[in-house]
Structure 1
């Protein structure tokens, strides 16, 4: 297996992109001091709404925009509960994850008239970059959202380091009381990042349902939102480190697909990315414990 083969690298990008987009949402929440584990449900909700809007309008781009808006509204549940009413964000996030799983299965039967998987020749998928005129190796076979995801990693990193609002957000996450004493609207910033994370998860869901494939299947997020949470835990508040953690998942998934071709059972191949991600998290935890503690 040649890991530098164009088709393998393309498979890595395809697998990585939804996770990167969701993880960027988790990262900006983490910077603001909000541990967001609602990414799984929001990603699934984004995939479902992208397919619904694409089905109703015949436009993949309407699916992308619709997924971002509707998932942002869905994220408002977490924002209002955890920021305004000070509910436990972990409990609320688990609830929204379970709600998304059940609600998408229910609405799928109401809208499409069947459960399981919805796929139709009339369902509009995202065009590739080659179809839009950017016919280059590896990237040419990808949707524009793949390129956008990597651009956003750089943009978020620049924003957090170089802009006033980014620096204020970091200050809120590091010391909420001091930030509030300086007159910063802590609640407003936190509402903003939780809603922005919802929009990013909607974008991730649109890529998953209309870019990676052109269909919706019940539970198709398949743990990618949880992998995004792990990527944030591994990468901290550094976007490039979060990207590397997501690429680890993408490489593992691409390898799993290749191994299926040589006879590895599908279940083993499908579990490989999650096993490797979990192993990386364990190693990171062990390494963190071995670092010498700072003397206060």
Structure 2
């Protein structure tokens, strides 16, 4: 029972974790990216639309990645290169993604609400050789799709990049003291632009996992605030990959428990708010911790 629950947590937390890794990189680069939600939604729509058009999940995921990266360029150029307000641009991109995907759903497929097509299939699941026979652990980590495994690999790679390479040191320097980094020869706007575009691509993968991970459909505004949860995870984890992964695990656990309670007859209106309730409590705790630190310093 616990094995199944933890396995479900890994599936549910993956979209948030991928988006949160994108947010962490942007945060380290000095760009507060709140457009994660919109980028995820674009990725989710494109992966389903491409699956209908081409019938290839791999190609659909690739196109979702590219489309979300392109969708992130207004923030990359406007916020990083031309000095625009990233908050305003991010909110605009989120609103644009919501309206654009709803319009394209109707214009291209003639449906409203939810697109379900027999040609759209969920991403294939497989086990990691050698782990399937490991008691308990094998049952938890086995039987997931490639994006689930990739999300945990990214946690390791981003951690190494940020804290074990000179490129990561330079990126952190750009985010902390951009003037000093520029004086050392770093092209601040170029770094920030590249990171925001790459973050958009990661959000495209998050959207692809959301649409084709456990289900095979697209629904209007199906991200349902997961991009905002990713922003909170970045704040709770202090933009550290390991702390973010722990925060995302907590959100995934709340979501999984909510689904289990729903299966026991609890109204879905109550269970659906579980991860968002946890997010709200986490934000309150974070605010109290920050206030206590400021009071102590004074």
Same fold (TM over 0.5): yes
- 1:171-227 Cα deviation digits (max 9, x unpaired): 011101111111110000000110011000000001110112111000100000000
Say whether residues 1:88 and 2:90 are aligned partners. no
Aligned-partner Cα distance in 2 for 1:27–1:212? 25
What corresponds to 1:180 in structure 2?
Answer: 182
Match of 1:200 among 199, 202, 213: 202
CA distance in 2, matches of 1:129, 1:263: 31
- Higher mean Cα deviation, 32-41 or 81-90? 81-90
- Summarize the alignment of residues 1-296 of structure 1 with structure 2, pairs less than 5 Å apart: 5-130=2-127, 135=132, 136-291=138-293
**Structure 2 regions of 5+ residues with no counterpart?**
133-137
Q: Which residue in 1 is equivalent to 2:135?
A: none
For 1:130 and 1:38, the matched residues in 2 are separated by 33
CA deviation string 1:114-147 (max 9, x = no partner): 1111112211321001499975413333111101
Between stretches 113-122 and 70-79, larger displacement belongs to: 113-122
Range that drifts further, 257-266 or 66-75? 257-266
* 1:103 to 1:57, Cα distance in 2 relative to 1, 3 A: same
Aligned CA distance change for structure 1 residues 118 and 133 (closer, same or farther; 3 Å): farther
Q: Is the 8 A contact 1:46 1:68 kept in 2?
A: yes
| Contact in 2 for aligned 1:37/1:229 (Cα 8 Å) | yes
Aligned residues: 293
**Equivalent pair of 1:248/1:277 in contact (CA under 8 Å):** no
Label 1:110 to 1:133 Cα distance change in 2 as closer, same or farther (>3 A): farther
CA RMSD of aligned residues (A): 1.8
Give SS of 1:125's match: coil
The residue matched to 2:125 in structure 1 has which SS?
coil
Contact 2:233 2:248 in 1 (8 A): yes
| Separation in structure 2 between the aligned mates of residue 189 and residue 71 of structure 1, nearest angstrom | 19
Tell me the SS of whatever aligns to 2:122.
coil
